[in-house]
Structure 1
């Protein structure tokens, strides 16, 4: 898929991005893909290109751009190595809901201005912390999000004031959430809490639990990547975005 490298100016600086598009002439619906805790890296550029092949202009941002030229993470060791765990947790926690919202506004403005992109409302999708961001953005910038997806996202219905489920009554997008079995970051109880919040707010939504581990969709996370679950997630994105973004 054709891919360009660019930067987007946000209230906090300059965010490097890639924009992957299908072959041929556009314009196409836009989607923002939020990476997992490992941040933007080659595997996510490949995933963005694959999603673009379904007929979308896919923006992949460096969500850690405020940290400058940060050293890449290896998710196979990032949480077991004490120093790397400290670094990744610090960088993850630095991306607050306010920063998610202001970044998203800049990302959506960029997409709306691109000749390759159609419309003024977009899709969001994300993995792990990016799955939380996807739902957070749907609640914080509702007029710009038509469809929001989350894959093995954590903290979606947490016991804290910044949990995305508390924004349910602000969400106008259709929502799809795929959790993982035995995932402490998104338990059965949390799934039920999220389902109730979205139902009470009359949000169109689907919540599923895949028989796989947290991280199932990302190929460079060797210990937990599950090809069957990953294919199911691609099928879900093709179907869901196809129905909600057109």
Structure 2
């Protein structure tokens, strides 16, 4: 359902998926903030939220592009991601607080993000969340972002030419800091392997370029995320 999220700079739009008692029991339930990719509040990210809802999680997607036109917002939000500060981080924190305030919350909130959102999921792993699930997110410039990080389950594509070596680097950084983690690179998958985007006839070209949906990789990553979240958000 479409919702409004109060933030430090006025309210923004969001999308909330709620567990169904007949499937997930009467609660209380854990929650997940989902950070969208550069396509914004697409049908794809809403479907991902619904999938978390069906799995027994409150799932809230804050619209980080709420405050302006698409091009201006993409540029602004990416700059904030690279700087590891700014209104986008305040909006993500507002979404976390909104979930914590729900009367049927169990007090545990994870974060999941895709592409740009995966970068936010990495940076915010040490900012109050109880578990983080970044999908092919760009690595933070400042490695201290992983100091005191929550448990992280991360997924990358081996054919993601823009993030070569990111999985191995993240695994190394988390191992050095003794952060509980599960990092996996899917050899045959590319960037965006967990996102069903309306690319139509361009799908073959995207696969050649190391982009696009991969069913097997997506299904395995989803299984890993649910297992990991069940451990750390229950």
TM-score range, shorter chain: 0.7 to 0.9
Q: Does 1:133 align with 2:120?
A: yes
Q: Which residue of 2 aligns with 1:57?
A: 58
For 1:148 and 1:176, locate their aligned partners in 2 and report how far apart those are by CA, in whole Å. Answer: 6
Q: Which residue of 1 aligns with 2:208?
A: none
1:88 CA displacement: 7.2
1:27 CA displacement: 2.3
Q: Does 1:15 align with 2:41?
A: no
For 2:220 and 2:72, locate their aligned partners in 1 and report how far apart those are by CA, in whole Å. Answer: 32
Q: Does 1:196 align with 2:196?
A: no
Contact 1:152 1:214 in 2 (8 A): yes
Q: 1:95 to 1:51 in 2, by over 3 A?
A: same
For 1:105 and 1:150, locate their aligned partners in 2 and report how far apart those are by CA, in whole Å. Answer: 16
Q: Which residue of 1 aligns with 2:133?
A: 149
Contact 1:37 1:92 in 2 (8 A): no
* Structure 1 residue ranges without an equivalent (≥5): 72-85
SS at match of 1:105: helix
For 2:164 and 2:102, locate their aligned partners in 1 and report how far apart those are by CA, in whole Å. Answer: 39
SS at match of 2:6: strand
1:133 CA displacement: 0.5
The normalised TM-score by structure 2 is 0.84
Contact 1:22 1:57 in 2 (8 A): yes
* Structure 2 residue ranges without an equivalent (≥5): 204-211
Q: 1:46 to 1:191 in 2, by over 3 A?
A: closer
For 1:233 and 1:33, locate their aligned partners in 2 and report how far apart those are by CA, in whole Å. Answer: 15
1:185 CA displacement: 3.0
For 1:228 and 1:197, locate their aligned partners in 2 and report how far apart those are by CA, in whole Å. Answer: 27
Q: Which residue of 2 aligns with 1:114?
A: 102
Q: 1:20 to 1:47 in 2, by over 3 A?
A: same
SS at match of 2:124: helix
1:87 CA displacement: 5.7
For 1:176 and 1:12, locate their aligned partners in 2 and report how far apart those are by CA, in whole Å. Answer: 31
Q: 1:27 to 1:146 in 2, by over 3 A?
A: same
Aligned residues: 215
SS at match of 1:176: strand
Higher helix share: 2
1:92 CA displacement: 4.0
Contact 2:123 2:146 in 1 (8 A): no
Q: Which residue of 1 aligns with 2:207?
A: none
SS at match of 1:66: coil
The normalised TM-score by structure 1 is 0.80
Aligned CA RMSD, in angstroms, stands at 2.0
